Amino acid sequence: MEMLGYFNIKRPDVVHETVDGETVIVNLENGIYYSLRGSGVDVWNLIETGANLDELTSMMVDRYNGSPEEIQKAIAELLVVLQKEGLLQVSSTKRTVSQTPQPLSSGEKMKFDPPLLEKFSDMQELLLLDPIHEVDEEGWPHKAEGDGAGNVRQA
């Protein structure tokens, strides 16, 4: 996995919203969705600023209690997973963004808990169906019972 570049969310295929300390991420291309919690919410929102690993680490160290090594290791592991899931793309140049990282409102650092990413694939098959041969009478996207005989969409 690429760790040297600047990270960006893979738009427009990936959409997301953060509510009350939880980020819901939806991959519209393959039907998988995720719940990101803990410090992962901050990492995700900092990725929106187009940061690289060192910048992400620096910003997270400013926000959380914990050794820089521990925090960077957790971020790097999350970045690997997010890339494997096809949610991020990496570029060699930093893009211009209007967003700037938000400082901690209280000014006090928080306890660092590793990011928690939960993956849901229960609706994935609905988007990967062959819409002609595999849907039931309820239509696309509703899977027919039994084995489908048609093609599977390339994710």
Residue 81 interacts with other proteins (CB under 8 A): yes or no: no
Does residue 90 sit in helix, strand or coil? strand
Residue 149 interacts with other proteins (CB under 8 A): yes or no: no
Dihedral angle over CA of 52, 57, 63, 67, nearest 10: 180
Selected from 96, 100, 106, 138, the binder of other proteins by CB under 8 A is 138
Residue 141 interacts with other proteins (CB under 8 A): yes or no: yes
Residue 53 or 140 with smaller CB distance to other proteins: 140
User: Distance between CA 46 and CA 103 in Å, rounded?
Assistant: 11
Cα separation values, 124 from 33, 60, 112, Å: 8, 33, 32
Residue 146 interacts with other proteins (CB under 8 A): yes or no: no
Selected from 7, 31, 52, 117, the binder of other proteins by CB under 8 A is 31
Residue 15 interacts with other proteins (CB under 8 A): yes or no: yes
Per CB under 8 A, contacts with other proteins among 84-103 are none
Cα separation values, 80 from 21, 77, 88, 132, 138, Å: 22, 5, 9, 36, 38
Return the range that interacts with other proteins (CB under 8 A); candidates 31-39, 50-58, 65-73, 77-85.
Answer: 31-39
**Whether 49 contacts 9, CB under 8 Å:** no
Q: For residue 69, which of 81, 53, 80 has the smallest C-alpha distance?
A: 53
Minimum separation from the CB atom of position 139 to other proteins (A): 5
Which residues are near other proteins by CB under 8 A?
11-12, 15-24, 26, 28-31, 33, 35, 37, 120, 122-123, 126-127, 130-132, 135, 137-142, 151, 153-154
